[in-house]
Amino acid sequence: MNAPTISEDRPQDTVRFGRDAPLRLDCGVALDGLAIAYQTYGELNAARSNAVLVCHALTGDQHVASPHPLTGRPGWWQLLVGPGRLVDTRRFFVICANVVGGCQGTTGPKEPDPTTGRPYGLDFPVITVGDMVRAQAMLLDHLGIDQLFCVLGGSMGGMQVLQWASAYPDRVYAAVPIATAARHSAQNIAFHEVGRQAIMADPDWRDGKYLEFDVRPRAGLAVARMAAHITYLSEPALHRKFGRNLQDRERVTYGFEADFQVESYLRHQGSTFVNRFDANSYLYITRAMDYFDLAAEHEGVLAKAFARTPVRFCVVSFSSDWLFPTAQSKAIVRALNAAAANVSFVEIQTDKGHDAFLLDEPEFHATLAGFLNGCAERRGLPGPA
Amino acid sequence: MTAPAPPGLRPDLAPIVGMIEPGSRVLDIGCGDGELLEYLVHRRQVTGRGMEIVQEGVNACVARGLSVIQGDADTDLSDYPTAAFDYVVLTFTLQATRDPRQVLAEMLRIGRYGIVSITNYAYWPLRLGLLLRGQMPTAEVDGVAWHASGNIRRCTIVDFETLGAELGLSVDRRIGLGRRHPDGRLPEVRCLPNLRACQAIYLLHRDPGS
């Protein structure tokens, strides 16, 4: 295979695997004809040692550092990834792939089922974080990359990072799980269930076959997004941003329009989300997160998931993140210590909640830069320009 | 007299560097901003890990490329496996812990050797201050009033060695240090250290069978 020599503005790639290379899912199904849509930035070096895999969160996608083709908005982690940025695409070959079950080109419930020609809908098999990572490993094989210099991601992306380090310790040099957990808590599952029920309660959901009727469960998906969005913020951040301010009016209207700015904001979040995201994908991906429990796969002992790991870890949490609180990160760190792993851990003080990992948090960025540069030095990769 | 501190290293850390074999595995508990750990990793080729309770310190360490976690010596040492390190270092942290006895025991479970530095509250100017002024020591030690000092378990060289003996720990080396010279050097005190040293640094190991 030729080394991918890829320029900064290369359009997205999609790799399709043949029937000889099915993705073997945790549920027992072998998924034939897997397609993975991915973006790359920068160039792979001759030693193939500078690859960085960015794992996206629940509603993210492969457009990490370039404008989104549907919304035109900047890449979701453009603050961190790009030329001269912290994850410098002039030094690193950055890969970001849409997860299996997603809706941006990778095989998922909105893609046609080869056996019927119609969209999978709920006939799509239930997928797991382990399946997402197994699919990414197939992509790396396709790209001819044996070992990643670093795999990093926040939230569900962080779950994938942990899964990567646990399942493929020899293929990961450094791992950065951010604002994440080694298992989904009852509270996390509860919020996801609210979102799923909102989608399924929408009459336009049509038992998951909405694409065949050319309708979309827009209202249900919007409510799911609105509820989830609250969990990504913190009470102080909401208060700072909106308080009890009214939206374009002097006084309350004694009705149910969006009197308050926070209502208007959430409605906007919901309505823009439905233009770029598939409702069934939302069901499948939230389910994958709910099923994630790394210790359960290792006799209930998380440390066993990392036994004798050579991977260097940098675990990051945010003080006001109540969706993936610091205690969850500390549980990961405890397990890594028990496995005598090479681990750093920081809790960043911020009032921005779970979403802080996507935002301008100088202390977080300084920490990450220090970790990446220290690892790059040990790996013999060039330092920052 | 101890040798002048290596450039860029705090004078009280220099004797600790001298106690550590190059290339060994070191856990620095209460590693602050990582000054000692960075020196050991880069100049002594140790495999270094750190624990620090203050967030700014942890961030400074990770930004230096060190492997450091936020943690509390009183509660988080039990997470480390037995004999994971050659040296476990505790510089001016023991007296700030709630349960120094437990922390010492944990240190010498995790590491083959423990290196501990303490403030000696039997240093003669402190004794004199207490006798004549009737006040707890401040300026001679850390310059902080009794109610603001992190050292909640104040002890003397004799006290510390008594506890070490109770725990079955042997002292391989003890370095007493006197008051800082104007040029920054810390003179070693060999004679009557419990009276004449303001701090002491120990290299300890656990007696087999204890």
Residues composing chain A: 385
- Smallest CA–CA distance, residue A385 to chain B, in Å, is 17
pLDDT score of A251 more than 70 = yes
Of B162, B160, B155, B157, nearest to B190 by C-alpha is: B157
3-state secondary structure of A52: strand
| B162 Cβ contact partners less than 8 Å away, ≥ 6 residues apart | none
Q: How confident is the model at residue A10 (pLDDT cuts 50, 70, 90)?
A: low
Q: How confident is the model at residue B186 (pLDDT cuts 50, 70, 90)?
A: confident
Percent of the residues in chain A that have a pLDDT greater than 90, as a whole number: 91
Euclidean distance between CA atoms A98 and B76, whole angstroms: 38
CA distance to A120, A278, A279, A317, B33, per residue, from A109 (Å): 5, 8, 9, 32, 50
Q: How confident is the model at residue A176 (pLDDT cuts 50, 70, 90)?
A: very high
Euclidean distance between CA atoms A102 and A37, whole angstroms: 10
More confident residue, B2 or B61: B61
Q: Is A271 an active-site residue?
A: no
A371 interfacial to chain B (CB closer than 8 Å): yes
Does B67 sit within 8 Å of A344, measured CB to CB?
yes
* DSSP characters over B67-117: EEEE--HHHHGGGSPTT-EEEEEEES-GGGSS-HHHHHHHHHHHEEEEEEE
pLDDT of residue A338: 85
Between chain A and chain B, how many beta carbons pairs sit less than 8 Å apart?
A: 62
- Which residues share a beta bridge with B31? none
Q: How confident is the model at residue A1 (pLDDT cuts 50, 70, 90)?
A: very low
Residue of chain B with shortest Cα separation from A362:
B59
Quote the tokens at residue A271. Answer: 């309505």
Residues A223/A197, Cβ–Cβ less than 8 Å: no
The backbone torsions φ and ψ at residue B176, rounded to the nearest 5 degrees and listed phi first, read -90, 140
Report chain B residues whose CB lies below 8 A from the CB of A342. 49, 67
CA distance to A377, B109, B196, per residue, from B64 (Å): 12, 28, 37
Classify residue A302 as left (phi > 0), alpha (psi -120 to 50) or beta. Answer: alpha
Q: Give tens-digit pLDDT for A41-71.
A: 999 999 999 999 999 999 999 999 999 998 9
pLDDT score of A184 more than 70 = yes
pLDDT of residue A7: 39
Does B84 sit within 8 Å of A346, measured CB to CB?
no
Mean pLDDT for A297-324 is 96
Of A242, A193, A195, A241, nearest to A222 by C-alpha is: A195
- Which residues share a beta bridge with A150? A52, A174
Report chain A residues whose CB lies below 8 A from the CB of B49. 342
| B52 Cβ contact partners less than 8 Å away, ≥ 6 residues apart | B30, B31, B32, B58, B61, B68, B69, B70, B71
Please compute Rg for chain A using Cα positions: 21
Q: Give tens-digit pLDDT for A337-377.
A: 888 899 999 999 999 999 999 999 998 998 999 899 989 98
Q: In this predicted complex, what is the ipTM?
A: 0.79
Q: Is A354 an active-site residue?
A: yes
Residues A120/A20, Cβ–Cβ less than 8 Å: no
Q: Mean pLDDT over all residues of chain A?
A: 94
CA distance to A192, A201, B55, B88, B132, per residue, from A180 (Å): 15, 29, 19, 30, 58
- Which residues share a beta bridge with B170? B205
A296 interfacial to chain B (CB closer than 8 Å): no
pLDDT of residue B95: 92
- Which residues share a beta bridge with B85? B111
Percent of the residues in chain B that have a pLDDT greater than 70, as a whole number: 93
3-state secondary structure of B49: strand
- Side-chain half-sphere CA neighbours of B204 within 13 A: 28
| A61 Cβ contact partners less than 8 Å away, ≥ 6 residues apart | A68, A76, A98, A102, A104
pLDDT score of B142 more than 70 = no
Of B38, B48, B24, nearest to B112 by C-alpha is: B24
Find the catalytic residue in A66, A155, A166, A281: A155
Does A367 sit within 8 Å of B62, measured CB to CB?
yes
Mean pLDDT for A211-226 is 97
Classify residue B8 as left (phi > 0), alpha (psi -120 to 50) or beta. Answer: left
The backbone torsions φ and ψ at residue A284, rounded to the nearest 5 degrees and listed phi first, read -70, -40
- Which residues share a beta bridge with A50? none
pLDDT score of A385 more than 80 = no
More confident residue, A333 or B59: A333
pLDDT score of B209 more than 80 = no
Which of A340, A367, A377 is nearest residue B81 as measured by Cβ atoms? Answer: A340
Q: Which of residues 33 through 72 in chain A touch B, CB cutoff 8 A?
A: none
Does B59 sit within 8 Å of A346, measured CB to CB?
yes
pLDDT of residue B7: 65
pLDDT of residue A3: 39
Residue of chain B with shortest Cα separation from A326:
B70
Mean pLDDT for B163-179 is 95
Q: What is the pTM of this model?
A: 0.90
pLDDT score of B63 more than 60 = yes
Q: Give tens-digit pLDDT for B92-115.
A: 889 999 999 999 999 999 999 999
3-state secondary structure of A346: strand
Q: Is A229 an active-site residue?
A: no
pLDDT of residue A9: 47
Q: Give tens-digit pLDDT for B147-167.
A: 888 888 999 999 999 999 999
User: Hey, of A315, A329, A337, A375, which one would you mutate to test binding to chain B, going by the most B CBs within 10 A of its CB?
Assistant: A337
In A148-230, where do the E strands start and end? 148-154, 172-178
Find the catalytic residue in A56, A184, A192, A354: A354
* Distance, C-alpha B89 to centroid of its chain: 6
Q: How confident is the model at residue A97 (pLDDT cuts 50, 70, 90)?
A: very high
pLDDT of residue A383: 87
pLDDT of residue A106: 97
pLDDT score of A6 more than 60 = no
Euclidean distance between CA atoms A360 and B85, whole angstroms: 37
